[in-house]
Amino acid sequence: MKNKKLLNYSDYLQLNKLLESQSLMSDKNGQKAHDEMLFIIIHQTYELWFKQIIHELDLVGHLFSQKTIDESKVSNAVLKLNRIIEIQKILIDQIRVLETMTAMDFLEFRDYLFPSSGFQSSQFRIIENRLGLHQRDRLSYMNKNYKDAIKDDEKDLVNTSESVKSIFDLLERWLERTPFLSFEGFDFWEKYSESVTTLLKEEENLIRNRPNQSGEELEFNLKSHKNTVSSFQAFLSSEKHEELINKGEKRLSHKATKAALLIFLYRDEPILHSPFNLLSKLMDIDELFTNWRQRHATMVHRMIGGKIGTGGSSGHKYLRSAAQKHKIFSDLSDLSTFFIKRSALPKLPKNIKNSLGYYHQS
């Protein structure tokens, strides 16, 4: 009877199931390939981490679906997004483990895997959908919908992940509701536009008066300044922004974009710390998935060269295109184009500043 009810490490982690879930196809085919174990185990750790990422995204989605989103919810979301980031770094670093398997070793069991493929990972698709990957940004898979690759009994979950509000959607709504854009008589956008106009004028003067430049250089610099002016004009105009959205070149609404810019520009204000961290972490997550796809593509290139993937994809080229296209929060990264120097920032009126900050102690 002893220890009957006491929790044991092995039972807690369900190691009996976990450590008996590796069944080598090469073994079943009578040609046991030592390295297939690594192939299975590394993919299993990937899937465990995906489960954890979804667990965190669920919480973040929940926090941002509330009616009132106070500071403490934002900062809790930041902590969870940061956990996703640390997991992503592991996902990337793990590629080095897989790279200890050479192309020749992979060939020993590769044929037995047909036609299974990483494209069939429903958890990864759920992550993409929960974050907010736009369906138009998906690459096609043998001219079919990406969901055709998903096992039937997993399709429901993938469908659900398409239909719930994504982190992108929730972020956009939250940004649009920010109270700071027009706050006790301070109109951020108006002030910002004025500052930009002044700055661009100054910059043009600077270019015209640069010493020692050739005519060619002057022309080059003026032309690039003109481009800057046009891009600011487009940025300031909600109509132009709408056009870009319709063309698929932008995605985040103009109102949300303005709020995001405000957060970036006044990130030194205490009340904007957590919002700033939120935007930063989302950009980090985007970049790390891009980075992961690129590293993955490079590894696949070296492993199978120009061969097609076990699932029929064009191998490393597919992955490299995905790395380019599958970005979700690039509207945020693009914003730094429109940052202006602190010294040129519209000053916040005292009453806002006071209501934003607080003194911790004196």
CB of 199 to a second copy, least distance (A): 11
- Give the DSSP per-residue string, 238-303: HHHHHHHHHTTS--S-HHHHHHHHHHHHTTTSGGGHHHHHHHHHHHHHHHHHHHHHHHHHHHHHHH
CB nearer a second copy, residue 105 or residue 162? 105
Of 58, 65, 93, 136, nearest to 288 by C-alpha is 93
Task: Please compute Rg for the chain using Cα positions.
Answer: 26
CB of 241 to a second copy, least distance (A): 15
CB nearer a second copy, residue 97 or residue 164? 97
- Tokens of residue 111, six digits: 């044929």
- Phi and psi at 252, nearest 5°, equal -75, 135
CB of 350 to a second copy, least distance (A): 15
CB of 105 to a second copy, least distance (A): 9
The amino acid at 308: I
CB nearer a second copy, residue 190 or residue 220? 220
CB of 361 to a second copy, least distance (A): 5
CB nearer a second copy, residue 3 or residue 246? 3
CB of 282 to a second copy, least distance (A): 12
Of 13, 39, 38, 36, nearest to 26 by C-alpha is 36
CB nearer a second copy, residue 349 or residue 357? 357
CB nearer a second copy, residue 126 or residue 131? 126
Eight-state DSSP code of residue 144 = B
Q: Tell me if residue 183 falls in helix, strand or coil.
A: strand
Of 337, 48, 331, 357, nearest to 168 by C-alpha is 331
